[in-house]
Amino acid sequence: MYEPILNSLYARFSVKGRAQQIRFLQGLIPPMKALHGGYQTSNVVSAAYGSEEAQACYMLRYFLPYSELLPSVLKPGIATGLADSVQQLMFFGPGPAPELYGFFRWLAPRRTRIAARPRLNVHLLDIASNDWSFARDICTEELIPTVWSTPVSYHPRTFDYTTKWAESRLTGIFARTQLFVFQNCLNEVSASAHEHVKANLKWLEEVMPLGSLLVIIDRDKYPSVIELLKWVKGRVAYGYLECLVGREEVFRHNAVPLINTIPAIITTDAGLLIDSAGGYINRPGGSGLFLQREIGYHAVVMRKVRT
Ligand SMILES: C[S@@+](CC[C@H](N)C(=O)[O-])C[C@H]1O[C@@H](n2cnc3c(N)ncnc32)[C@H](O)[C@@H]1O
């Protein structure tokens, strides 16, 4: 799965031949460290995504492991009916949209041919939507077509999820959407901004269609996001939503099968798996410049059950 990402990066950065490819990958070590450094906090994340090099690093380091998180919470039973009913999807803070790529890989074997015919509408709402176009294009133009063949309309928009949704021009779209996803993005705003998110989610609770799903997934190290997830789970008391997944404990996603597919040009030739302390990921406990073998995350999945 890494080959299509590598090939599109080589093409977009005009990298030709193996020697140039290795030099290109080695050149990504400094931006890779800078990107990784932005996440080393239990507070508000401050990673810079603007440069194409930073986005190339995100594609190599985070994209594929994070594409596995959304499918890992859409267990049988949770997503009953979703595969055939979904026509409109909304992703908040998707960046290059690994969760969307993962969703299409999940959807492809589950959707019947009849349901597959109408065009899917995908809304990608990110505060840095324009900045992310380089990596998002790799996802939508080169990766998704390898797993999903029927037409999709993508609507990337600059959108701050902390602003008042009830006043946005998208209100009609919210009311026609079957899947709302926040993945790994609520850690990028402060706890006080989460109050605005709560107000928006209360509004969403009323307008989202019957049977639609709200999915929130975030890494395990951000206390304010965990508080927000508990609050979301507590909304069952108001009767509009049922909680399908809402565990306080950390989910552990096994990334080993994926890590085992990382090509040698990354691991051996370019040495991209060496972390700042010189540790290799394939050494027990090594962190490396790629993700750990186990990705710890929290998740809630809520379904609208009453209008
Ligand atoms: C770590 S990236 C996560 C990307 C993707 N969801 C994933 O799982 O890999 C966080 C994303 O949240 C976006 N973001 C941060 N604050 C935001 C806000 N207030 N409104 C919308 N998007 C935001 C960033 O631009 C970035 O694309």
- State the distance from the centre of ligand 1 to the C-alpha of 94, rounded, in angstroms: 6
Contact status, residue 169 vs residue 134, Cβ threshold 8 Å: no
Structural domain that includes position 65: 2-304
- Calpha distance 90→290 (Å, rounded): 28
Residue of 250 and 10 predicted with greater confidence: 10
Contact status, residue 57 vs residue 32, Cβ threshold 8 Å: yes
The number of folded domains in the chain is 1
- Calpha distance 116→295 (Å, rounded): 32
At residue 248, the pLDDT reads 67
Pocket of ligand 1, beta carbon within 6 A = 62, 66, 92-95, 98-99, 126-128, 132, 159-162, 183-185, 188-189
- Calpha distance 172→166 (Å, rounded): 10
At residue 271, the pLDDT reads 73
At residue 42, the pLDDT reads 67
At residue 291, the pLDDT reads 66
Q: For residue range 63-106, list pLDDT tens digits in order.
A: 999 999 999 999 878 887 899 889 999 999 999 999 999 999 99
Average pLDDT, the chain: 89
Asked whether the whole model's pTM tops 0.85, one would answer: yes
Alpha helix segments (H runs only) across 13-132: 18-27, 29-38, 52-58, 64-67, 69-73, 82-85, 98-107, 113-116
- State the distance from the centre of ligand 1 to the C-alpha of 124, rounded, in angstroms: 10
> Where does the pLDDT of residue 33 fall: very low under 50, low under 70, confident under 90, or very high at 90 and above?
confident
Q: For residue range 187-238, list pLDDT tens digits in order.
A: 999 999 999 999 999 999 999 999 999 999 999 888 999 999 999 999 999 9
User: Probe ligand 1: pick from 99, 127, 219, max atoms within 8 Å of CB?
Assistant: 127
Where residue 51 sits, what CATH number does that domain have?
Answer: 3.40.50.150
Which region holds residue 239: left if phi is over 0, alpha if psi is between -120 and 50, else beta? left
Q: Is the pLDDT of residue 121 over 60?
A: yes
Which region holds residue 14: left if phi is over 0, alpha if psi is between -120 and 50, else beta? left
